[in-house]
Amino acid sequence: MKKALLAFAILFLAKASFAQTDDILNKATSAASAAGFNVGSLTSGIMGKLGSALTLTKAQSPKVTSAVSTYLTAKSKILPLASTAKDQYTQKQSGLFNTLKTKLAGVLVKDQMNKFLGLKPATNTPTNVLSQLFF
Query: How confident is the model over 19-56, as pLDDT tens digits?
Result: 444 444 444 444 444 446 799 999 999 999 999 999 99
| DSSP labels, 16-82 | HHHHHHHHHHHHHHHHHHHTT--HHHHHHHHHHHHHHHHT--TTHHHHHHHHHHHHHHHHHHHTTHH
Distance CA 37, CA 126 (A): 11
**pLDDT, mean of residues 76-82:** 92
pTM beyond cutoff 0.75: no
Q: What is the pLDDT of residues 89-100, one digit of tens each?
A: 999 999 999 999
User: What pLDDT shows up at residue 33?
Assistant: 41
Amino acid identity at 87? D
